[in-house]
Amino acid sequence: MTHCLIRVFPLKIRLPVTSAIAILLATSVATLAAETQPTAAEAKAVVDKAEADLARMNEYAGRAAWVKETYITDDTNWLSAKANAEQTDLQVKYAKEAARFDGVEVDPVVKRKLYLLKCGLTLPASSRPGASQELADIEARLDTDYSTAKFDYKGRTLTLDDMEDILRTSRDPAETKALWEGWRAVSSPRMRADYANLVALANEGSREIGYKDTGALWRSWYDMDPNAFAAETDRLWRQVEPFYKNLHCYVRARLNEKYGDAVQPRTGSIRGDLTGNMWGQGWGNIYDIVAPKTASLGYDVTDALTSHSYSPLKMVQTSEAFYTSIGFAPLPESFWMRSMFTRPGDREVVCHPSAWDVDDKEDLRLKACFTVTADDFYSVYHELGHNMYQRAYAGQPFLFKGGANDGFHEAIGDFAALNAITPTYLKKIGLIDTAPGTDADIPHLLKIALDKVAFLPFALLVDKWRWEVFSGQVTPEHYNDAWWALVKQYQGLTPPGPRPGNAFDPGAKFHIASSTPYMRYFLADIYEFQFYRAACRQARWKGPLNRCSIYEDKEVGKHFAAMLAMGQSQPWPEALVAFTGEKALDASAIADYFAPLNAWLTEQNKSEACGG
């Protein structure tokens, strides 16, 4: 730092001493400001160095994380936490550097990269010595607590996978209650103190880089003011809420018919453990309870996979074939050598599916514990969508290697999977012998809505809860109450019994334990239908929207790939318009897709008290 020594000399024009000092001081400050004002050239130099440094660090941290997630030990936890801490320190350093150039005139590319540097953190640590390592250690503990939790039930030690398998098919409300409560008892209560510390540490870091709290940082990722983004999510929910309530009313009535008033009342909230899903975020597993009585889908995807001798590997190969049919290149040989498709029997792993690009070039991998089910068949298409997106933008500069926003990244594979579950596609790949007629459209749409539409309120509330927590609106002693208030408000679900005082039910969801932002999934659910409608228009599809599939349509695939290749080089509305012709998020595509089902549900609910 330059220190200016100011001396007062006799002047021909005599001024008061204080005036002379003021003039000299102002002149010195102005000179110093001119000398230290950041320049456009300096901004570009900072961006260039940041890209080089962050690219190297990203590969190092990615490799450490891969080893940790596929082989959980104290040592791999330590290595991954150390790499995460170093990566966070570097990201925070460059976020602060980028903030120095606010207000400096730079070219559009540098401006975009500075913006991405400032908001490209999920959990920033402060520059206080030891803060980044403390945060990384907490993240590693939370992740391990979740991934290694097991529940003893009827003489068996159950993993989460085992418990989910039972929940899919159990129709015994005592058993579903035991498993639902059991998972929450073993996975999350001990997380609460760590989670509160994580919030405090992340907020400290977020404030240091100019954000009110970490929730405001997360909401800044969408090329709009954080408050405007929150309002946008509310607008989108209002578009789909009437349809969700129609579906909720219908499902509640069928559950009441199945279990009776003592287990599931005809009015009010739905008991969460009766939905066939550990978090009530998808209801497709109870299709047998709510299926229309006068029409049949005519096939079951899980049964079809089993009867055709599908394995997890074959499911991945089939998914890859969908993408290559629309013009994408086959996955590299290293993908098949290095990926993990099933749970190993000899070690602890993080089973939650994820797609990786370890070197930001061609080292694509998939990590999951797939089983041969319809759910995992869908998940494979979703995860490979990430891999295809990663490779599409691999030619971009490092800071542009990412989705147009995180919702885009989730939507790509969901869009593909929406094509892949059409009867037209399933018949073409030989999984079913005959595509059912239009009389099967209601069962088909209902089955999809039980997962896709039922998911929307859950996808919305997870981060609404975190926004409240990060802002301080909800304090640690009220974490669980606030969670259930949002679950009731948006999902209309209730726990199967009173929750204990030490419960931390948000932590029973992987994305809370792993600090993975969740609003991306809400956006993705909307984007995928918007992409799907646009693709079917490009393919000049004339039939019902839900029967369209772009399988083998390379012309549509070419336009789709062009959008993916943009990465995050442009604000997301530019990427959206490149493929759909539309610049705004629009949930009306969901209404278009499900229009026949919504009309049918309205007819079925005529005698129900749907508002109650």
Higher-confidence position of 34 and 481: 481
Taking only the tens place, the pLDDT of each residue in 29-43 is 444 444 578 999 999
Quote the number of domains for the chain. Answer: 2
pLDDT at 365: 98
In a domain, 610, yes or no: no
In a domain, 433, yes or no: no
Q: How many C-beta neighbours within 10 Å does residue 2 have? A: 8
User: Residue 211: helix, strand or coil by DSSP?
Assistant: coil
Q: From CA 180, how far away is CA 187, in angstroms rounded? A: 11
Give the pTM.
0.87
Taking only the tens place, the pLDDT of each residue in 427-448 is 999 999 998 888 899 999 999 9
- In this structure, the answer to whether residues 53 and 91 fall within a common structural domain is yes
pLDDT at 227: 95
In a domain, 74, yes or no: yes
Q: From CA 451, how far away is CA 538, in angstroms rounded? A: 26
Amino acid at 388: M
- In this structure, the answer to whether residues 25 and 110 fall within a common structural domain is no
Pairing mode of beta strands 151-153, 156-158 = antiparallel
- In this structure, the answer to whether residues 217 and 85 fall within a common structural domain is yes
Closest to 176 measured CA to CA, from 258, 282, 274, 257: 274
Q: How confident is the model at residue 25 (pLDDT cuts 50, 70, 90)?
A: very low
Q: From CA 505, how far away is CA 511, in angstroms rounded? A: 12
Taking only the tens place, the pLDDT of each residue in 143-186 is 999 999 999 999 999 999 999 999 999 999 999 999 999 999 99
- In this structure, the answer to whether residues 7 and 91 fall within a common structural domain is no
Query: How confident is the prediction for the chain on average, in pLDDT?
Result: 92
- In this structure, the answer to whether residues 51 and 113 fall within a common structural domain is yes
In a domain, 102, yes or no: yes
- pLDDT at residue 3 is higher than 60: no
Least reliable range by pLDDT among 20-24, 247-251, 344-348, 360-364: 20-24
Contact of 310 with 337, CB cutoff 8 Å = no
Residue 364 forms beta bridges with which residues?
357
Q: From CA 608, how far away is CA 602, in angstroms rounded? A: 10
Q: Half-sphere exposure of residue 513, counting CA atoms within 13 Å on the CB side?
A: 24
In a domain, 213, yes or no: yes
Residue 157 forms beta bridges with which residues?
152
Long-range CB contacts (< 8 A, 24+ apart) of 223-229?
223/405, 223/571, 223/572, 223/573
Question: What is the average pLDDT across 100-109?
Answer: 94
- In this structure, the answer to whether residues 106 and 20 fall within a common structural domain is no
Contacts of 25 (CB under 8 A, 6+ apart): 6
Higher-confidence position of 570 and 27: 570
In a domain, 317, yes or no: no
Eight-state DSSP code of residue 489: I
- In this structure, the answer to whether residues 85 and 201 fall within a common structural domain is yes
- pLDDT at residue 303 is higher than 60: yes
- In this structure, the answer to whether residues 29 and 130 fall within a common structural domain is no
In a domain, 429, yes or no: no
Contact of 189 with 504, CB cutoff 8 Å = yes
- pLDDT at residue 16 is higher than 70: no
Give the residue numbers spanning the domain of 139: 40-143+196-222
Taking only the tens place, the pLDDT of each residue in 388-426 is 999 999 999 999 999 999 999 999 999 999 988 899 899
Contacts of 144 (CB under 8 A, 6+ apart): 72, 77
- In this structure, the answer to whether residues 113 and 211 fall within a common structural domain is yes
Closest to 284 measured CA to CA, from 485, 421, 460, 486: 421
